[in-house]
Structure formats: structure tokens, C-alpha cells
Amino acid sequence: MNKDVQDYHNALQDDDRAIADVLFEQITAALPKAENKVWHRHPVWFLDGNPIVGYHKLKNDVRLLFWSGQSFDEPGLLPEGSFKAAEARYTSADQVNLKDLKRWLKKSKTIQWDYKNIVKRKGVLERLL
């Protein structure tokens, strides 16, 4: 775990840190070639510069966000925002369904929208792969 991500985890309360630790472990195992850094103040994983997945503490829970998650066709992920992102929220580590998470992470490698170039394309997303 890089220093910035470790600092992020260290700043969390115990219950939230337990969720973040589970998510970090699973994401890192599933996306070993992904770059991981704190981006917009929370941990995010990138493939070829494109944001794939991240998590962050909200007021009442920890949100797991997949930038292309709406295209995964998964009932456990809810639409977030006006693009293709989808989320799951957790208030305790035991709510993280590892089977679902592993399936979502597998899909995150093959189902991607090009967020890296969204500004250059003036807000238009194109599907990758």
C-alpha cells in the first residue's frame, strides 16, 4: 500500500477502516497491473490512465465506485451520477459480498468507458475494448 493510501486508511474510524481494508485487498488482488493512487482525496485504481474503481468515506457509509459500473448489468450496483458510474455502499465490512465484488472487479477489466479522454471529447464517453 502506498503512503497516500495508507494515510487515507489511517484517518478512518475503525469500522470504516475495516471496510476499506477489505476493498483494498480485493481490488489489489484482482487488478495487479492497475496503478493505485489517491485521486480527488480517495483511493482509485487506473488501467492505462483510465479510472476503474475507487472507494471513499461518505457521511454515513463507505462508497465503492466503479466508473463503468452501469454497464456491468449487476443488480448489486446502483447508478451514480450522469455518466456510466455505479456504486455499492457499506456500513460494515461483513456487508461486502466477496463473490459479488470479485465478479464486479473481473468485469471492470473488460467493460470500460474512456473517462481518461472525457474532457478532450467535451463530455462524450466512448466505450473501450
User: What residue segments make up the domains of the chain, in order of their start?
Assistant: 3-128
Q: Which residue has the higher pLDDT, 113 or 27?
A: 27
Q: Over the stretch 68-92, which tens digit does the pLDDT of each residue have?
A: 999 999 999 999 987 899 999 999 9
What integer pLDDT is reported at residue 97 of this predicted model? Answer: 98
pLDDT of residue 41: 95
Pairing relation of β-strands 35-39 and 62-66? unpaired
Looking at domain 3-128, its CATH class is alpha beta
- Write out pLDDT tens, residues 86-111: 999 999 999 999 999 999 999 999 99
Q: What is the pLDDT of residue 129?
A: 64
Render pLDDT for 6-64 as a digit per residue (tens, 0 to 9).
999 999 999 999 999 999 999 999 999 999 999 999 999 999 999 999 999 999 999 99
Q: What is the pLDDT of residue 114?
A: 80
User: So what's the pLDDT on residue 15?
Assistant: 97
Question: Given a cut of 90, is residue 66 above it in pLDDT?
Answer: yes
What pLDDT sits at residue 82? 79
In DSSP notation, 56-114 reads EE-SSSEEEEETTGGGG--TT-EE-SSSS-EEEEESSGGG--HHHHHHHHHHHHHSEE-
